[in-house]
Structure 1
């Protein structure tokens, strides 16, 4: 298995960031992820460079001040207690801007990024505007926070969502891929998975992530035990399942971007496993997820 694509907690750390994945470090063209940990009273100056960014809370709140050629805007990011406590509000930071994050109480913040050419205005996204999707049924049930999904929030290249998988369930299933440009059928997108796993009575949890080659010969091949703070890089290949062990809910943050002119998430299911979708209509959604009235997505 190609361990270069599984970065255990701490392996992708750099400078002030607990995670710092860039196009250069990942050896690809577009997608980035940084995780910033601020102590109480902490401040961090961030330069967007040639990428657009969405900043959201992994725990705690902060003030985000965005400055670019068009002026200066200040946003209050209320955040949340943890990734398992609900949806976070977020702030969009355009390319060529700078942003200052300051947090009186401290916190942890994700900066999801993508290289882009179009500069859009800085904006605030309230938590109540984030569509929450219940996807799958039975032990394939999971919840998706579509804060930065295509068709939901305007970006140039960036697509970003969060997934909550209850303990014992499988998500990113059936395995799927998006590593070819096939108009109307499949998008070419690099993808980052960032994991957090819920503890149980103080005992840390774990999960598993599979990525398998989609073509002949070499390709991304990962079977990893993942823990809180781990990252899996997916430049190509069938990805899934993401497996949450019983008793420990799994969270992952997906960051995607690619070269296509259209910002779209178009996937191809693995032909050996696509049949599982046909079984979903006959099963209920996992009751641990029925906190929103959204119908399950097939």
Structure 2
């Protein structure tokens, strides 16, 4: 997969990239409202986003993702619906719909701390997500992860590897890798990366050996983001936990609240549980049946 922003795309360059072996493109469209793109500091326009998509198609790419965002400062439900309708008309094979997250140290983070950021209220944020859950499946995009929708057989394979805790190489400056239960991160700056490889044959700057508890919690977090959920027996066997690996009383309570579904030995989030997935998953993770697990 090649990540690109609309303003960088030309049919000529992407034709060469296609010949070089790239077979999937992810375009950071984000919104199809000019004012919202300005708020995000994005240099492209809605028209340029459409032109970039056409250029990618003309270059021979038949597997394209578009990133779009909701919960943006000043974004209305109508704005979001226009973006949803617009990307559906374009017809990519995959759509990623992410809610805006405010992080410390960013421009939005500083504005938010000063109270200068006008974000949609939580109810509006949830309503926008709910609109995506209605509009995209109706247009043929199956939700296979909390924020990701795909036409049949076009799920993002590299992301599925991460969500299933598969192994992957981290190549290049700042890249992360995961092999043999060890997480690595490379030197972030290209010059430092090149110097490290020349000096010692490796650019790994840090290694982490996650504990069994940390690995199980991560598997739970990532697995429950998937529409397929988690096979509880397989999860228990993998991490040496009793079956079920979580207090059945908690699971029954969450099921009664309509937040999770238990079927055929699998646990998954319901549509009602998706908007509050972080809270639900944290509660389940706190009750994993490790000796230190305490279920309130």
TM-score by length of 2: 0.28
Q: Going by fraction, where is helix more abundant, 1 or 2?
A: 2
- Larger gyration radius, structure 1 or structure 2: 2
- When normalised by structure 1's length, the TM-score is 0.27
